[in-house]
A and B are shown apart, each in its own frame.
Chain A
Amino acid sequence: MSATVATPRRSPPANQAPAPGDLRLLLSGNHAVSYGAMRARPEVVPIYPITPQTPIAEKISDLQLAGDFDVDLMTAESEHSAMSACITASLTGVRVFTATASQGLFLMHEMLHYASGARAPIVMVNVNRTIGSPWGFWPDQTDSLAQRDTGWIQYYTENGQESLDTVIQAFKVAEEVLLPAMVVHEAFYVSHALEPVTVPSQERVDAYLPRFDPPHKLDTEIGESWGNVVNQDMFYRHRKDLGAAMNQVLEASVRADADYKDAMGRGYGILEKYRTEDADMLIVAFGAMVGSARVAVDMLRAAGKAVGLLKIKLFRPFPVEAVRAAVAGVPRLVVMERNFSPGGGGVLHQELKAALYGMPDPPAVHGYLAGVGGVNVSPKKIVELAEKALTDEPVPDSVWQR
């Protein structure tokens, strides 16, 4: 399985002693999220259960019952209501967390736009799952990618440790730029895979993440309102402000990650280059497939093939300049993804081509639809596809691979 071969370089070895106050626990990706949320100290968590998100909600409930997590857990009657309550709790001036997946994310869609429009810095974890119909429960990032125009920051993580750390970082960025942030990891490969995870101490997280104290809020002493009908000019300015805030996310994310690395010893960047030196080709991937691709790159390098890996972590805003810098001088890229947009092809493939358009001496770009529907894409399979991409002529459309 992709993520279980994952990432010895990311997490410290299991026998390494954690820093004073930190916990070293064997956690699923979802339970790691719950611990990350606990350390961020949200005041209100409106949430609704959906497979494969449920272990996040269950662990938060257990931590609350045990007295470890002082939080108001609102068991909403739908994801739509959960997100509606997230927005207003945030606008009233408290930190808010929630989690969902797939159909639940789709039911929230209207309120996702409402949240970013209201500049509510909610942090939500989405556990990627195939979208109906027909029903399926498999890893596939199409659910969150379909929300790329909603004005939410999007981070894609590859294991539980990264998800935990990114939840905490996401609050820092979201509350700085006043935009909601989605931390996304995939069903089962990440959500249910057990790995040793370091949970940083509350003191260290408190030192990293200050109290949430927004400049504007729903408060009878202040008297400000939100949501009234605006005229065209106001709407125009509002959308431009939203764009300006999104633009700040790139720098804010780099800084939040660097500060986190200083404080906790772990950092990820907004993208990652792995063995890209003198590469003839880079594999471009995000989410759980990155772990397998990293192993595949080691195999290819061992066989004398100059292939590297570009991991996209920050997807919204799409880090155009950073991606261009990372691929400059590389003759060829191959995107490997599960995300099929009917009539459009692979979603990351589209995004990458758009980002590179107009770049001097751009690389040729292959788009491979591999593992659609959650079908396993092993390191061996990635090696095979990479070797094919090294010799095939790229075509504009994404190509299905099995």
Chain B
Amino acid sequence: MHTYELDEQKVFNSGHNACPGCGEALAVRYVLNTMGPNTIGVIPPSCIAIISGPQPYSSMRIPVYQTTLEASAASAAGISRALKRQGKHDVNVLALAGDGGTYDIGFQALSGAAERNEDMVYVCLDNEGYMNTGAQKSSSTPYLAVTSSTPGGKPSDKKDIAEIMAAHRIPYVATATVGYPDDLARKVAKARDMKGMRFIVVLTPCLDGWGVADDGAVRVSRLAVDTGFFPLYEVEDGERYTINHGPKGIPVERYLEQQKRYRHLDEDQVKEIQAGVDHRWSLLQARVESMAGQARIR
């Protein structure tokens, strides 16, 4: 049993519209309650928009602007720039988007905002598919996972959004997940207290879309890290890497077997996924080593 000390400010409230046991609602709690009330939120169509609540209700004690699916980063940039012109340099701007709105349709706006180093915290709540519209595949869906638009399993790999964002050389990129709440909250606090473009991708298991038991979100989230499927790390200025939590010697099969979206896999496919996980982990370690001791050049 793990216990956590979290310094939470009451921004996110109970009574929201997430499914019982939702991993994403848990992530929203840690993100919002760490960002604090001096924050303006931007939310595109996604499960987060449902969790945020229908007019006139809100589960969030902050102003929230709901934008279009592809526009989160641009919308957040508009707020951020207007706040500066008003002299409000201390107000946080937080974009909370899903993986479809980040990896896919929102990617152009995100890349543009990163290139301009817009002043915002952009959190991608990554449930690896269009779960709000019935679990279609996104470019975040992992290899061989079944979705409603890839019923035979997805034929291509998950896009590596953390590395793509790190390649923009923005001040801060991090991966996080709800099974490691202290790590998640620490990263949100760290991002909050920096300036410029900050990006955190949070793996948030979707009970329905992944086929996970109602009490399984946190367990599956921890297994994603502990099997090496989703390592937790940080990248500052595109080159200073810190690995926080990596594989602990648990085979990836233990992660896959918790989820109905992988139930169709045969033995060889499980091995293929394990080999992919091992390969990406070695690449990440090599990157960390090659970047170690590099002087910061901007």
| Contact A43 B78, beta carbon cutoff 8 Å | no
B162, chain A: closest CB distance, angstroms: 21
CB-CB under 8 A from B58, the residues of chain A are: 225, 228
In this complex, how many residues of chain A approach chain B with their Cβ under 8 Å: the count is 40
CB-CB under 8 A from B55, the residues of chain A are: 228-231, 234
CB-CB under 8 A from A74, the residues of chain B are: 77-78, 81, 116
A231 to B54 alpha-carbon distance, docked (Å): 8
CB-CB under 8 A from A90, the residues of chain B are: 78, 82
Task: Tell me whether B108 is interfacial, beta carbon within 8 Å.
Answer: yes
A399 to B20 alpha-carbon distance, docked (Å): 64
| Contact B109 A87, beta carbon cutoff 8 Å | no
Task: Tell me whether B40 is interfacial, beta carbon within 8 Å.
Answer: yes
A328 to B53 alpha-carbon distance, docked (Å): 53
Task: Tell me whether B111 is interfacial, beta carbon within 8 Å.
Answer: yes
| Contact B54 A223, beta carbon cutoff 8 Å | no
| Contact A78 B68, beta carbon cutoff 8 Å | no
| Contact A43 B85, beta carbon cutoff 8 Å | yes
Task: Tell me whether B161 is interfacial, beta carbon within 8 Å.
Answer: no
Interface string of A62-78 (1 = CB under 8 A from B): 00000000001011111
| Contact B116 A78, beta carbon cutoff 8 Å | no
CB-CB under 8 A from B83, the residues of chain A are: 92
Question: How many residue pairs, one in A and one in B, have C-beta atoms under 8 Å apart?
Answer: 136
| Contact A220 B86, beta carbon cutoff 8 Å | no
Task: Tell me whether B65 is interfacial, beta carbon within 8 Å.
Answer: yes
Q: Which residue of A lies closest to B56 (CB)?
A: A228
Q: Which residue of B lies closest to A229 (CB)?
A: B54
| Contact B66 A228, beta carbon cutoff 8 Å | yes
| Contact A81 B112, beta carbon cutoff 8 Å | yes
List A residues 89-137 near B (Cβ within 8 Å): 89-94, 110-111, 114
| Contact B108 A77, beta carbon cutoff 8 Å | yes
A81 to B81 alpha-carbon distance, docked (Å): 14
Task: Tell me whether A44 is interfacial, beta carbon within 8 Å.
Answer: yes
| Contact B61 A223, beta carbon cutoff 8 Å | yes
The 9 closest A-B pairs by CB, nearest first: A77-B112, A227-B66, A88-B78, A85-B78, A81-B74, A92-B82, A84-B74, A84-B71, A228-B55
Question: Which residues of A line the B interface, CB within 8 A?
Answer: 43-44, 46, 72, 74-78, 80-82, 84-94, 110-111, 114, 218-220, 222-231, 234
Question: Which residues of B line the A interface, CB within 8 A?
Answer: 37-40, 42, 49, 52-58, 61-68, 70-71, 73-79, 81-86, 91, 108-109, 111-112, 115-116
7 A-B pairs whose Cβ atoms sit less than 8 Å apart in the complex = A46-B77, A74-B77, A81-B73, A88-B75, A94-B86, A225-B64, A227-B64
